[in-house]
Structure 1
Amino acid sequence: MTSQTRAAIGAHGEQLAVEHLTDMGLVVLDRNWRCRHGELDVIASDPATRTVVFVEVKTRTSDRFGGVEQAVTPQKVRRLRRLAGLWLAGQDQRWDGVRLDVIGIRLRRSATPEITHVQGVG
C-alpha cells in the first residue's frame, strides 16, 4: 500500500465505503460534491427511512493518526453540517431525516480491509 499516492488510497477507501453503503441498502446520490466551503465525500439516501446520509470517509493504512473517533473533531462536524445544509439547499427533494456518518477504512497489505461505520456523529 505504501507505493500508492494518498489520493489513490483515499479513492480506494471511498469506493469500499460506497460498496458498504449499497450493501446496507442505501442509494448513493453524489460523490465528492464540492463547493467553495469544502467537500462532501459521499451523499446517500436510505429509502426505508427517507433519510439523507452525509458520509465522511477516512482511509488509513496505519493507526498512526488514530481511529475514526479521533478523525472527526467537533470542528469537522460543524463543517460537515454546514456543507450538508448547502447541499440540501440546492435540492428539490425533501427527506424525513438527515444524518452524518463516518466510515473508517483501514487498509492492510495482506488482510481484508477493516470497515468501521459510525452512524449519527453530529
Structure 2
Amino acid sequence: MEFPRRKDGPAATTRQAGNAAEDRALAYLRAGGLQLLARNYRTPGRGGGEIDLIMRDAAGTVVFVEVRQRASRDFGGAAASVSPAKQRRIVFAARHYLLHHGAPPPCRFDVVSVEADGVQWLRAAFDAAA
C-alpha cells in the first residue's frame, strides 16, 4: 500500500494518511452494498468518542465502523489495535448518535483494517457490552 505524499515532502501527515485509509475503507464498504450515513461523527465535549463511518446495510442495520490502518501486521495488525477503551468510546458515540436519530434500528460494530496487503472487513467485531 502506498501512503499519500505531500507536495513538499516525502510523507503524508498522519491526518492525510488516516483520511486516505477512510476513503479506501468507504469505497470498499460501498462496493459491499453499504450506504454512508455519516463520516467522522463526534460527540460534544471532552472525553467523548468518534465514529469514523456510520453506514446502513441493505437490511437496514446501522453499522458503526472503526477504520484502522497499519503498515504491517506486526503486533496483531490494525484490527488488534481497537482496544477495550476504544470500543467503549465508540459505543458511547453510537448511543449518542442513536439518541438523536429516532427509534433505534438494529446495529452492529465493524472494524475495517487497512494494511499494506489489502483491506479486511471484520463484521460484528465487538458488541455494545464492550
What's the TM-score bracket when you normalise by the shorter of the two chains?
0.7 to 0.9
Q: Gaps spanning 5+ residues in structure 2: where?
A: 4-9
Report the TM-score, using the length of structure 2 for normalisation: 0.80
- The answer to whether 1:13 aligns with 2:17 is no
Which stretches of structure 1, 4 residues or more, deviate above 2 A after TM superposition? Answer: 61-66
- The answer to whether 1:80 aligns with 2:90 is yes
Task: Between 68-77 and 5-14, report the one with greater CA deviation.
Answer: 68-77
Cα distance in 1, alignment partners of residues 77 and 26 from structure 2: 19
SS in 2 for 1:121: strand
Report the TM-score, using the length of structure 1 for normalisation: 0.84
SS in 1 for 2:56: strand
Kept in 2, the 8 Å contact 1:55–1:100? The answer is yes
- The answer to whether 1:42 aligns with 2:43 is no
- The answer to whether 1:54 aligns with 2:71 is no
Cα distance in 2, alignment partners of residues 6 and 64 from structure 1: 19
- Count of aligned residue pairs for this structure pair: 115
- Structure 2 partner of 1:71: 81
Q: Gaps spanning 5+ residues in structure 1: where?
A: 108-112
Amino acid of the structure 2 residue aligned with 1:116: Q
Cα distance in 1, alignment partners of residues 119 and 95 from structure 2: 27
Cα distance in 1, alignment partners of residues 75 and 50 from structure 2: 21
Shift of 1:76: 1.7
Shift of 1:94: 4.1
Kept in 1, the 8 Å contact 2:54–2:65? The answer is yes
- Structure 1 partner of 2:111: 102
Amino acid of the structure 2 residue aligned with 1:30: A
- The answer to whether 1:115 aligns with 2:125 is no
Cα distance in 2, alignment partners of residues 88 and 57 from structure 1: 20
Aligned residues with identical type, % of pairs: 34
SS in 1 for 2:12: coil
Kept in 1, the 8 Å contact 2:49–2:92? The answer is no
